Amino acid sequence: MSTLFPTEDTATLERLHARLADDAAREGLLDVAYRQVDSPVGPLLLAATPRGLVRVAYSFKGHDQVVEDLAARLGPRVLHAPARLDAAARELDEYFAGARTRFELDVDLTLSRGFRRAVLEYLRTIGYGETESYTEVAGHVGNPRAVRAVGSACATNPLPIVIPCHRVLRSDGSPGGYLGGLPAKKLLLDLERAA
Amino acid sequence: MTNPPFEQVVARHGATVLRVCRAVVGPDDADDAWSETFLAALRAYPSLDPGTNLEAWLVTVAHRKAIDVLRARSRRPQPAAHLPEAHDGAAGPGEQVAEVWYAVAALPDKQRLAIAYHYLAGLPFADVAAIVGGSTDAARRAAADGMKTLRRQYGAQPAGDRQ
């Protein structure tokens, strides 16, 4: 059969896929749009719902797994739709180039609830180049004893870099942990210090 | 258990659905049929039973969309003949539609559909019969007759070489 019906349609399928992503977004049929970008901290997966950016993921876990998790939690109508994430990709590029000190993106915090979400909301107020300790953050969200819970909110941040959990350090000034790995945390802190 | 991200459905079955669309509505309208098929599938996807045979489901959606395309075409004026020079359609750069799809398009309806759903989509003849109507044997005969015609026209020559 393969000799009678040709199978090499890669270019056509790419064009049709892009058209499908556009049509689906226009008709409000996408639960999640995603794309990958390269960055100084490795490949990042960016995902958005119609409400805004919902996920930034480092590649440790495998981006396929991240996409499957998003489908399970937010709905299965998930498409690779790079154009939907152009603005996020551009702002991240500018950030890594030292040309952007705050993100002006709509974000969707659906993936985080309760205390963790309150921590993320607070982290958005820590400015570029500033840092706070886990203890200080716990105090600022109204629960000074919840230092470990602040740590786990940072460790499960669905939007690292954009929501700056890398700006939270240990009280002695050492970096503590980071969901993107310590070299990435150090790179982000150095980048912001240099600017 | 939930259905996989729709992206996986497009990645795994997009090529098959394109071949089915080319066979059923012809290469010139195949892009529109493919787009309508996946848009309709996306719309219905959240309520689809987990564990559904996705390829068979997509083929039935494609069949309905293809019938719509064929009906719409029968209502608009037809060009007198297909000239190979007119086969560019909406294809982008680097895309080439093999001549064999025009030969498939020229087959009688039953043969075309039986070839599309059995040989291109891989459905058993009983399923083909359920989609296009008639008996399993009739579907098998129609597919065999159509393939005979195509093989006579194309012989052992690799597809895509005839322009």
Contact B10 A20 (CB under 8 A): yes
Structure tokens at B94: 């680097």
**In sequence order, what are the residues at sequence separation of 6 or more whose Cβ sits closer than 8 angstroms to the Cβ of residue A113?**
none
Write the CATH number for B149.
Answer: 1.20.140
Packed helices A10-26 and B27-44: angle between N→C axes, nearest 10 degrees: 40
Contact between A108 and A33 under an 8 Å Cβ cutoff? The reply is: no
| 3-state DSSP assignment of residue B52 | coil
Q: How distant is the alpha carbon of residue A146 from its chain centre?
A: 24
- pLDDT of A7 > 70? The answer is no
- Among left, alpha and beta (phi > 0; psi -120 to 50; other), residue B155 is left
| pTM, two decimal places | 0.85
Q: Which of B10, B42, B88 is the best substitution to test chain A (most A C-beta atoms within 10 A)?
A: B42
Please check whether residue B126 lies inside any domain of the structure.
yes
Please check whether residue B37 lies inside any domain of the structure.
yes
Please check whether residue B12 lies inside any domain of the structure.
yes
Q: Please report the domains of chain A, with CATH numbers, ordered by start residue.
A: 10-96 (3.30.160), 114-194 (1.10.10.10)
Half-sphere exposure of A93 (CA within 13 A, CB side): 9
Contact between B146 and B112 under an 8 Å Cβ cutoff? The reply is: yes
B9 vs chain A: nearest CA distance in angstroms? Answer: 10
Contact between A132 and A154 under an 8 Å Cβ cutoff? The reply is: no
Full residue range of the structural domain in which residue B86 is found: 6-154
H-run or E-run covering A172? none
Choose between B18 and B78: higher pLDDT: B18
The catalytically annotated residue of A48, A111, A165, A189 is A165
* pLDDT tens figures, A141-179: 999 999 999 999 999 999 999 999 999 999 998 998 999
A154 labelled catalytic: no
DSSP A54: E
Fill in the amino acid letter for A19.
R
* pLDDT tens figures, B89-137: 455 555 666 788 888 888 999 999 999 999 999 999 999 999 999 999 9
- Closest partner residue to A68 (CB to CB) among B5, B10, B38 is B5
- Closest partner residue to B45 (CB to CB) among A11, A27, A76 is A76
ipTM for this prediction: 0.89
- pLDDT of B161 > 80? The answer is no
Please check whether residue B161 lies inside any domain of the structure.
no
Mean of the per-residue pLDDT values for chain A? 94
* pLDDT tens figures, B43-94: 999 999 988 999 999 999 999 998 888 888 877 765 554 444 444 445 555 5
* pLDDT tens figures, A113-137: 999 999 999 999 999 999 999 999 9
Mean of the per-residue pLDDT values for chain B? 84
Contact A13 B3 (CB under 8 A): no
Structurally, chain B folds into a number of domains equal to 1
Residue B41 is predicted with a pLDDT of 97
